[in-house]
Amino acid sequence: MLLVVGCATGQVTGASVDAVDIDATVEAEEIISAGKVLYLANCATCHGVNLQGNPDWRSGTDKDGQRLPPPLNGTGHTWHHSREVLHQILKYGLKIYDEKYEGKMIGNENLTDKEIYSILEYIESVWPEELRTNYTKTYK
Ligand code: HEC
């Protein structure tokens, strides 16, 4: 996954642009609850209903020999990636950063950029406050 960070520069499209698209009158709370619904429908089977991931994610593999889903709740490494990188991963899957990638994190091209934005808002909303503050300082 460090590879993902390393390759990130220059391949990004603007997740921040999506933020501007969102009707300014829509409360942040609504975005987060919409994100939660989308998360539960599209991500929870692997990453868990509480974003807890698989307990063996650091070293274990699944029956196909692929890596296990990491937690997205702040205890994994989601916060090592910029919003733009996360947006790309969610939309196109990890293959966008590694063409040889054959693992389970495939893309969600059926989701709109706004929907992906709301999922990321939801994920960040469960992180501890300190982590969120640092993340905002680093990436926003
Ligand atoms: C079929 C199972 C599966 C589904 C569904 C899935 N993921 Fe993943 N995801 C994984 C696995 C496995 C990894 C670890 C990738 C690897 O190392 O091969 C991963 C990696 C990630 C990463 C990168 C690691 C990190 O924390 O930065 C993010 C972010 C992520 N997933 C978010 C999501 C979101 C959000 C959704 C729903 C839109 C989703 N995933 C749907 C299995 C899944």
Q: Does residue 2 lie in a domain region? A: no
Q: Does residue 18 lie in a domain region? A: no
Q: Does residue 7 lie in a domain region? A: no
Residue of 4, 40, 42, 46 with the most ligand 1 atoms within 8 Å of its CB, for mutation: 46
- pTM, entire model: 0.85
Task: Give nearest CA residue, ligand 1 atom 15.
Answer: 105
Q: Looking at the 3D structure of the chain, how many domains does it have?
A: 1
Assign residue 117 the CATH number of its domain.
1.10.760.10
**Amino acid 26: pLDDT:** 61
Main-chain phi, psi angles of 121, to 5 degrees: -60, -45
**Amino acid 9: pLDDT:** 44
Q: pLDDT tens for the chain, 140 residues: list them.
A: 444 544 444 444 555 555 555 565 567 889 999 999 999 999 999 999 999 999 999 999 999 999 999 999 999 999 999 999 999 999 999 999 999 999 999 999 999 999 999 999 999 999 999 999 999 999 87
Ligand 1 shell residues, CB under 6 Å:
1, 42-43, 45-47, 67-70, 72, 76-78, 81, 86, 89-90, 94, 103-105, 108, 119
* CA 121/CA 127 separation, integer angstroms: 10
Main-chain phi, psi angles of 106, to 5 degrees: -90, 170
Residues of the domain holding 99? 25-139
Distance in Å, CA 25 to ligand 1 centroid = 31
> HEC profile for the chain?
CHHHHHHCCCCCCCHHHHHHHCCCCCCHHHHHHHHHHHHHHHCHHHHCCCCCCCCCCCCCECCCCCECCCCCCCCCCHHHCCHHHHHHHHHHEHHHCCCCCCCCCECCCCCCHHHHHHHHHHHHHCCCHHHHHHHHHHHC
**Amino acid 90: pLDDT:** 98
Q: Does residue 5 lie in a domain region? A: no
